[in-house]
């Protein structure tokens, strides 16, 4: 079954309910509204934060794409 679905379709299916919307709202506050750089943290921590932010933004972009 999953082999026939494109990963973007899987993401839309997983996040197309109230739980998914709630999780995206939490991630918006945690990753979307925050910058990756914080004064005093090392480069590795900035890269780690940016990885979380990039993951969230990728999912958000897929969910907002109305052409599919």
**8-45: pLDDT as tens digits:** 999 999 999 999 999 999 999 999 898 888 889 999 99
Cβ pair 12, 68 in contact under 8 A: yes
pLDDT for res 38: 82
Whole-structure pTM value: 0.79
- Read off φ and ψ for residue 54, nearest 5 degrees: -65, -40
CA distance 60 to 68: 14
Token couple for 19? 């739980």
């Amino acid at each position: 079954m999953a082999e026939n679905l494109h990963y973007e379709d899987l993401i839309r299916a997983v996040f197309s309910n109230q739980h998914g919307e709630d999780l995206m709202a939490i991630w918006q506050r945690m990753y979307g509204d925050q910058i990756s750089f914080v004064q005093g943290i090392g480069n590795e921590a900035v890269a780690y934060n940016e990885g979380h932010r990039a993951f969230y933004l990728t999912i958000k972009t897929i969910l907002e794409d109305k052409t599919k």
